[in-house]
Amino acid sequence: MSRSFESAQRVAIIGGGPGGYDAALAAAQLGAEVTLVERAGVGGSAVITDVVPSKTLIATADAAVAIAGAGDLGVQLFAKGGDGKPLKPQVAINLAAVNKRLLALARQQSDDMRASLTEAGVRIISGHGRLEGPGAVVVSTGLGGTDFDRIEADTLVVSVGASPRQLTTAKPDGQRILTWTQLYDMQTLPEHLIVVGSGVTGAEFASAYMNLGAKVTLVSSRDQVLPGEDADAAAVLEKVFARGGMSLLSKARADLVENTGTGVVVTLSDGRTVEGSHCLMAVGSIPNTAGIGLEDAGVELTASGHIRVNRVARTSVPNIYAAGDCTTFVPLASVASMQGRTAIFHALGDVVIPLEQRRIAANIFTAPEIATVGWQEKDIADGSINGVVRKLPLAANPRAKMMGIKDGFVKIIAREGSGTVIGGVIVGPRASDMIYPIAIAVERRLTVDQVSRVFTVYPSLSGSITDAMRSMHVVERAGEDEN
């Protein structure tokens, strides 16, 4: 329901990704006069180059895996050859069609989001925005920055996102040395893709292209893929990568990447070289915060250029808020959206629940997926929190057996004594959906017994969540829990 202020608050937002988009919708809902400035397309990198294209590509890779693995379930595909004898068809990927589909899907999503903003009454200005002090945004709208608009506002939200980090010794050329935004021009599957960087982005693309049928080498500067993530989950992924034929070069730093005209050569810091057809550079992002007037407006930045924000997304300047990848918070689309809404609720005086990092559910879209929420086993190991851990392999789950799922597990982390659920990890297909009950338990501070009293369907993968929690039962004397 919309609420009108006596004289409408003026809200200006720079950046139309998930952070800016949700801030704009929330502000319009609260009756503010809202202007959103966007230089590329509504939906931002999340929709145009990052989340939507990559997850659509991964959906195709998952389909290819399902078809290739269907034989284990007794599904056999045959066609008749010219001599009447059966031929076994092979799975082939039409990458041009896959990329065409994912780019169209991204465009459509961007158009839908633009339409939702317009319908909500948000004024959208296409152009490059920068702050003019703490009370106005100047937008260059013409080609070459010749025409200008000036928007005065009571509240400003900066949600300008981030761009792929580029190394001078491995400059992306859009042909063979690529950032993740340049992958979708490829018309055929790369013969041999070298992925530099084994964080979330590198691991997701390495997994996807391997499952689409490309030869993949993953160059990781650490001793495990997905540094900082659950070690058991990373171990499962490494096993699956090795089984799929991926070469994993760990503790290997890429010093130089060269396009030879017919391929790429990656030189590692120990002198070794790896040759491939293409190289994907997945070495992190830098915030788009330079040259947009933040410092002049008094907004505090970190040494890396990220905007310092508190738990309600407020910057060091009281009427300037910031959301998403340009801030010091967790770089996820879901978080950017939540920050955008929280910023507006705080600025316009609605009820605000400050964001808490531990409550954020996150997923890595490899095959299998890896989803996490809350405190992790490493936090117990390093003494940050007291807790107990229970891990059940998915292979023991009856539904998983029926579906031919071999890899993955459910891990529950609970407080010692009370059994309050404080975290969890799920590795398996659709872990992104499976993590939800654990995220609710963490958010609502439910105990393992409260969660395991809820029925799960038999047989179901979610049954492993209650099985793990049942095995963590906290013994109470009868009559103590009357609820």
Binding positions for ligand FAD, rule: CB under 6 A: 14-20, 37-40, 44-46, 50-51, 54-55, 128-129, 159-161, 180, 201, 288, 292, 324-325, 331-334, 336, 365
Q: How far is the CB of 288 from ligand FAD (least distance, A)?
A: 4
- Pick 184 or 241: Cβ nearer ligand FAD: 184
The distance of closest approach from Cβ of residue 328 to ligand FAD in the complex, given in angstroms and rounded to an integer, is 12
Residues 469, 107: Cα–Cα separation, whole Å: 43
Instruction: Tell me the two tokens of residue 200.
Output: 């979330």
CB 61 within 8 A of CB 208: yes
Q: How far is the CB of 25 from ligand FAD (least distance, A)?
A: 13
Residue found under tokens 């404080």:
422
Minimum CB separation of residue 37 from ligand FAD in Å reads 5
Nearer of residues 37 and 210 to ligand FAD, judged by Cβ? 37
Distances (CA, A) of 436 to 424, 425, 439: 10, 11, 5
Q: How far is the CB of 406 from ligand FAD (least distance, A)?
A: 24
Q: Which is nearer to ligand FAD, 50 or 377 (CB)?
A: 50
Shortest Å distance, C-beta 326 to ligand FAD: 6
In angstroms, give the least distance from the CB of 199 to ligand FAD. 10
Looking at the Cβ atoms of 160 and 266, the one nearer to ligand FAD is: 160
Long-range residue pairs from 237-242, CB within 8 A, at least 24 positions apart, any chain:
237/203, 237/207, 237/366, 237/368, 237/370, 237/427, 239/407, 240/207, 240/366, 240/367, 240/368, 240/407, 241/206, 241/207, 241/210
Residue 31 or 305 having the CB closest to ligand FAD = 305
Q: Is the peptide bond before 368 cis (omega within 30 degrees of 0)?
A: yes
- Do residues 414 and 421 make contact, with C-beta atoms less than 8 angstroms apart? yes
SS3 56: helix
Nearer to ligand FAD, 180 or 448 (CB): 180
Instruction: State residue 396 phi and psi, 5-degree precision.
Output: -85, -10
- The answer to whether the CB of 98 falls within 8 A of the CB of 188 is no
**Identity of the residue, 128 or 390, whose beta carbon is nearer to ligand FAD in the bound complex:** 128
